[in-house]
Amino acid sequence: MKRQKIIIVGSGLAAYVLASKLWQHNDVTILTKNTTQHSNSIRAQGGIAAAIAAKDQWQLHVEDTLKAGVFHNHQKAVETLVKEGKQVVTNLLQQGFLADRDHHGELLLGREGAHSERRIIHAGGDQTGKYLIYFYQQLLQGKIAIIEGQLAVECVMEGGECKGIMTMGHDNQLHTYTADHIVLATGGFGALYDTTSNDPSATGDGIAIAYRAGAKVSDLEFVQFHPTMLATQAPYNDLISEAVRGEGAILVDQNDREIMKGAHPLENLAPRDIVARVMMTELTKGHQLYLDIHQIKNFQTKFPFIKSVCEKNNIDWQQGLIPVKPGAHFTMGGVETDLRGRTNIPRLYAIGEVACTHVHGANRLASNSLLEGMVFATRLADYLTTQSSVSFSNIPVNQRLHHTFHHPDLDRLRKQMTNHVGINRSESGLKQMTEWLEKFTLIQENHLTSYVLSRGQIQMQHHLLVAQLVTKAARKRLESRGAHYRVDYPFKSEQWRNKSITFQLTKQGVTV
């Protein structure tokens, strides 16, 4: 069988897992916006959730995932994730991945918020993502092509199919890459908020690109805000893993009052949206919030990265209090796919955080994200090995037109998103955001390359389009569910149960 050409846009865990399954029989190229050191995966601290312990059961993991997702998840997607996840993680360990173990050689399994059992496999204490990325980078060294510094611009479409991707380098030169299959693995859009755990590159490019090409996007209103970011003045915030609370840390205010006491039966291990909202209420009252880590023995051994981050920011963790605040962490919505990563556009696929398989529902369960990337990348790899290559026409080069574009700066956009489309939302705030976005030039169709735009201008076009879609979705869902909280509609509505807000170019609607 002829070797297929496969382009993967993005360099996080899902991209590497897919490449590791395909390189032997296909020509695989990874394109990444900055460098391979820039992704959310590499920052992931907590670990990989999998029901592999003797007393654990996959049904319990399913139940925990559905509860955290407020039952907005698709049951089949969750069962696929959890059942196949056990095998995927077992295979990873058999390949030689060095997960943390005790002196008997048994896996050290952690517990995180909303999990009923200890089932989190971790590495390097709180550096699981980094260990995973380096593991796959070593595995793939010299076996695939990796091209850095390429900002994805738009899909190359022909006859309703995706035949390639156009990118722009730092020199503002356009490049065209054709392939049998184009896979978006570009991550979420958490970096569009001004307090975030995300890498600055995670701004929703893949969602914008897929939408302009005619792909469906769903559930964009569901943005998870992690309760515990290190509270500093830095533009991008370091995460304090939920595993810290799993080991006994508690949230307190400046007077040592336990703020989660009585707020939820699970208190400090309540689902993330609940903890984040309680914290937001306290912060708006002018209170300062801390993680009290006095109860954790050997903190510096269990959490070496968090220890180093505190020291880098001149925070004395040995005093037992780490200042924290909530921030954007994970986006449950994205490019709509089936359980093999296929979008509604032939030969265009999406995996990882950019995709919406509806596995996370309204709120992702802790440590299911790395598992998602691995499981659905594996499923897509299995599918692509059954496909055949295609022939390509000559891709025409557009005559590029000059046009004056009015854009905001990124810092301003991030502040607006945080203020109006953040943890607490309302019609008045969302309307303000809509009106603010209308001031700027926005190209929605798949012809960004028809204009003479710089790399920065193209990037801002992606930002503005994603911001607009998220705002529209948040305005449309007139209820509170999981990570989407409307102060003017503070309760779940039966009318919205099992309904997703889906957008497609020239179409929008609610799907059941």
- Ramachandran region, residue 486 (left: φ > 0; alpha: ψ -120 to 50; beta: rest): beta
Structure tokens at 443: 């190209």
Q: How many domains does the chain have?
A: 3
Q: What is the pLDDT of residues 218-256, one digit of tens each?
A: 999 999 999 999 998 776 788 898 889 989 999 999 999
Same domain, 247 and 366: no
Write phi, then psi, for 21 (nearest 5 degrees). Answer: -90, -15
Q: Report whether 467 contacts 417 (CB < 8 A).
A: yes
Same domain, 379 and 250: no
Q: What are the helix and strand counts (H, E) for the chain?
A: 13, 20
The pTM assigned to this predicted structure is 0.93
Q: What is the pLDDT of residues 130-173, one digit of tens each?
A: 999 999 999 999 999 999 999 999 999 999 999 999 999 999 99
Asked if residue 156 is part of any domain, the answer here is yes
Write phi, then psi, for 405 (nearest 5 degrees). Answer: -110, 135
At 84 the pLDDT is: 97
Same domain, 94 and 117: yes
Asked if residue 272 is part of any domain, the answer here is yes
Instruction: Calculate the CA 378 to chain-centre distance.
Output: 18
Q: What is the pLDDT of residues 351-369, one digit of tens each?
A: 999 999 999 999 999 999 9
Asked if residue 170 is part of any domain, the answer here is yes
The strand ranges marked E within 98-248 are 109-110, 120-121, 145-147, 151-158, 161-168, 174-178, 181-184, 217-218, 223-230
Q: Report whether 19 contacts 140 (CB < 8 A).
A: yes
Distances (CA, A) of 450 to 391, 397, 401, 443: 25, 9, 6, 11
Same domain, 48 and 127: yes
Active site members: 272
Q: What is the pLDDT of residues 304-320, one digit of tens each?
A: 999 999 999 999 999 99
Measured distance CA(111)–CA(367) in Å, rounded: 10
Same domain, 154 and 274: no
Same domain, 166 and 258: no
Asked if residue 482 is part of any domain, the answer here is yes
Measured distance CA(439)–CA(418) in Å, rounded: 18
Q: What is the pLDDT of residues 424-452, one digit of tens each?
A: 999 999 999 999 999 999 988 888 998 89
Give the whole-number percent of the chain exceeding pLDDT 70.
Answer: 98
- The mean of the pLDDT values for the chain is 94
Measured distance CA(348)–CA(54) in Å, rounded: 39
Q: Which structural domain, as residue segments, surrounds residue 312?
A: 227-328
The domain that contains 43 carries what CATH number? 3.50.50.60
Measured distance CA(125)–CA(339) in Å, rounded: 31
79-93, 423-437, 446-460: segment of lowest average pLDDT: 446-460
**Residue at a domain's end among 285, 313, 328:** 328
At 399 the pLDDT is: 67
Q: What's the pLDDT band for 511 if we cut at 50, 70, 90?
A: confident
Same domain, 176 and 262: no
Q: What's the pLDDT band for 389 if we cut at 50, 70, 90?
A: confident
Name the burial class of residue 294, with classes exposed (0-12), middle (13-18) and buried (19+) by CB atoms within 10 angstroms of its CB: exposed
Measured distance CA(268)–CA(464) in Å, rounded: 36
At 392 the pLDDT is: 66
One-letter amino acid for residue 424 of the chain: N
Mean pLDDT over residues 274-300, rounded? 94
**Residue at a domain's end among 281, 304, 328:** 328
Same domain, 69 and 184: yes
290 pLDDT higher than 60:
yes
Per DSSP bridges, beta strands 223-230 and 321-331 are: antiparallel
Mean pLDDT over residues 194-199, rounded? 91
Same domain, 316 and 348: no
The domain that contains 278 carries what CATH number? 3.90.700.10
The domain that contains 459 carries what CATH number? 1.20.58.100
The answer for residues whose C-beta is within 8 angstroms of residue 374's C-beta and 6 or more apart is: 13, 14, 17, 48, 85, 88, 89, 92
512 pLDDT higher than 60:
no
Q: Report whether 270 contacts 261 (CB < 8 A).
A: no
197 pLDDT higher than 60:
yes
Structure tokens at 174: 């356009």
**Residue at a domain's end among 290, 306, 328:** 328
Asked if residue 479 is part of any domain, the answer here is yes
User: Strand pairing partners for 165?
Assistant: 155, 177
Asked if residue 393 is part of any domain, the answer here is no
Same domain, 324 and 185: no
Asked if residue 415 is part of any domain, the answer here is yes
At 462 the pLDDT is: 97
The answer for residues whose C-beta is within 8 angstroms of residue 447's C-beta and 6 or more apart is: 154, 398
The strand ranges marked E within 271-316 are 289-292
263 pLDDT higher than 70:
yes
Asked if residue 512 is part of any domain, the answer here is no
Same domain, 404 and 380: no
Same domain, 312 and 341: no
